[in-house]
Structure 1
């Protein structure tokens, strides 16, 4: 692989990683998830074809919950740490994002 192509691949991977780290907004005071993360997590739960932005929002929420997506072969606690972060994000989602049911 040529040096220029390798540099472009590294730049693209870095930009993608940075985009996943910060979706670009802060959650409202007293909340863990942003409105965008709530929207994207809701979309992911509908089982529709997910977009890259929705996956990035999910990853940002998992990072807030303490998950570090380092290579799984370097993580002696994988997949337990991912599952624990997912449970925490699911809890935040139920408390902060789920629409209230009226009767």
Structure 2
């Protein structure tokens, strides 16, 4: 019962953040780019940081959504993990091509 409640609360928190307009980075990316400077910085920090923050995880999820990943609201997503892995490859490509100049925090 506690596990089910925790799952529901985490889902509600994620939905509340999405509905309230938690925009990752706060600004659109520069012309010709997919990732903002904030996203580049936080993704770089995720790759090097041993204990990432919740904000860095939110940035990662936002970048994955830009790459086409849509986490299913249901627990039995038939396309998981293939759709997540595809989005991760796209974000990794964007990171390599667009964020080479951005140092981590």
TM-score by length of 2: 0.74
Report the count of equivalent residues: 91
Cα distance between partner residues in 1 of 2:59 and 2:74 = 20
Determine the C-alpha separation between the residues in 2 that align with 1:66 and 1:32.
12
Give CA-to-partner distance per residue, 1:6-64, whole Å, 9 cap, x none.
Answer: xxx69x71433447852221000000001110000000000331111101110000000
Partner residue, 1:76:
78
Distance change >3 Å, CA 89–CA 51, structure 1 → 2: same
Deviation, 1:69, is: 1.3
For 2:16, the equivalent position in structure 1 comes to: 15
Relative to 1, partners in 2 of residues 1:48 and 1:20: Cα closer, same or farther, differing over 3 Å? Answer: farther
RMSD over aligned CA atoms reads 2.5
Counterpart in 1 of 2:27?
25
Structure number with greater Rg is: 1
Q: TM-score, normalised by structure 1?
A: 0.75
More helix by percentage = 1
Q: Within the alignment, does 1:90 sit opposite 2:83 as a pair?
A: no
User: Gapped runs of 5+ residues in structure 2?
Assistant: 1-8
Structure 1 residue 99 corresponds to structure 2 residue 95: no
